[in-house]
Amino acid sequence: GEDVEQSLFLSVREGDSSVINCTYTDSSSTYLYWYKQEPGAGLQLLTYIFSNMDMKQDQRLTVLLNKKDKHLSLRIADTQTGDSAIYFCAESNQGGKLIFGQGTELSVKP
């Protein structure tokens, strides 16, 4: 069945790069997404990648997709304390519903 896996925690120092990893199982997913959730808030769409792309860059964010290994990563350059949040990887199935990973809690230390 469909499954998305992420590591639960990541801690970095302010100014460093953060890399959040995700693996998924549904090879038919057309788009893969990264959402951000700040404490007490809803989910904010950060970025997405189309499945026929290898990389997408959007300001400080870089998404890498290895379709063969079903591995997706989100790199945040020059991580700031305001980037502290939970980051969810998600794939969409044919029906459109999103299958989420467990979320990676990013902690940025000054």
Partner 1 sequence: GAGVSQSPSNKVTEKGKDVELRCDPISGHTALYWYRQSLGQGLEFLIYFQGNSAPDKSGLPSDRFSAERTGGSVSTLTIQRTQQEDSAVYLCASSLGAGPNLKETQYFGPGTRLLVL
When the beta carbons of 9 and 50 are compared against partner 1, the nearer one is 50
Q: How far is the CB of 55 from partner 1 (least distance, A)?
A: 17
When the beta carbons of 44 and 81 are compared against partner 1, the nearer one is 44
When the beta carbons of 8 and 77 are compared against partner 1, the nearer one is 8
32 near 74, Cβ under 8 Å?
no
Q: Tell me which residues touch partner 1 (CB under 8 A).
A: 29-31, 33, 35, 41-45, 48, 50, 88, 92-103
Element (H, E) at 47: strand 43-50
Q: How far is the CB of 14 from partner 1 (least distance, A)?
A: 28
Q: How far is the CB of 30 from partner 1 (least distance, A)?
A: 4
Half-sphere exposure of 12 (CA within 13 A, CB side): 22
Half-sphere exposure of 86 (CA within 13 A, CB side): 16
Structure tokens at 55: 């990389």
